[in-house]
Amino acid sequence: MQESEKLLERIELVLPGFRGYKLREQRREADRIVRNHIHYMLENSRTWLTYSMQTLSDAKATEMNEPMNRLIARVDLLAEKVNRASYGYSGFFDSVKIDEPQLDQMLAFDTQLVEIARKFADDVTSFRNDLSQGRLENARTSEQALESAVANLEIVFDERKSVIEGVKV
Q: What is the DSSP string of 100-159?
A: HHHHHHHHHHHHHHHHHHHHHHHHHHHHHHHHHTT--TTHHHHHHHHHHHHHHHHHHHHH
Q: Say if 16 falls within a structural domain.
A: no
Q: Say if 37 falls within a structural domain.
A: yes
Q: Say if 61 falls within a structural domain.
A: yes
Count: domains in the chain = 1
Q: Say if 11 falls within a structural domain.
A: no
Has residue 85 got a pLDDT over 90?
A: no
What pTM value is reported for the model? 0.77
Q: Say if 80 falls within a structural domain.
A: yes
Q: How far is Cα 24 from Cα 98, in angstroms, rounded to an integer?
A: 9
Q: Which string of b and e fits 24-37 if b means at least 16 CB within 10 Å?
A: beebbeebeebbeb
Q: Say if 4 falls within a structural domain.
A: no
Has residue 77 got a pLDDT over 90?
A: yes
Q: Say if 7 falls within a structural domain.
A: no
11-63, pLDDT tens digit by residue? 555 555 555 666 667 767 777 888 889 999 999 999 999 999 999 999 999 99
Q: Which amino acid is at 63?
A: E
The pLDDT value given to residue 31: 76
SS3 of 92-112:
CCCCCCCCHHHHHHHHHHHHH
The pLDDT value given to residue 168: 45
Cβ neighbours for 112, distance < 8 A, ≥ 6 positions apart: 156
Q: Report the half-sphere exposure of 156 (CA within 13 A, side-chain side).
A: 21
Q: Say if 124 falls within a structural domain.
A: yes
102-120, pLDDT tens digit by residue? 667 777 777 888 899 999 9
Domain of residue 50, CATH code: 1.20.120
Least confident range from 51-60, 79-88, 132-141: namely 79-88
Residue 141 domain boundaries: 27-165
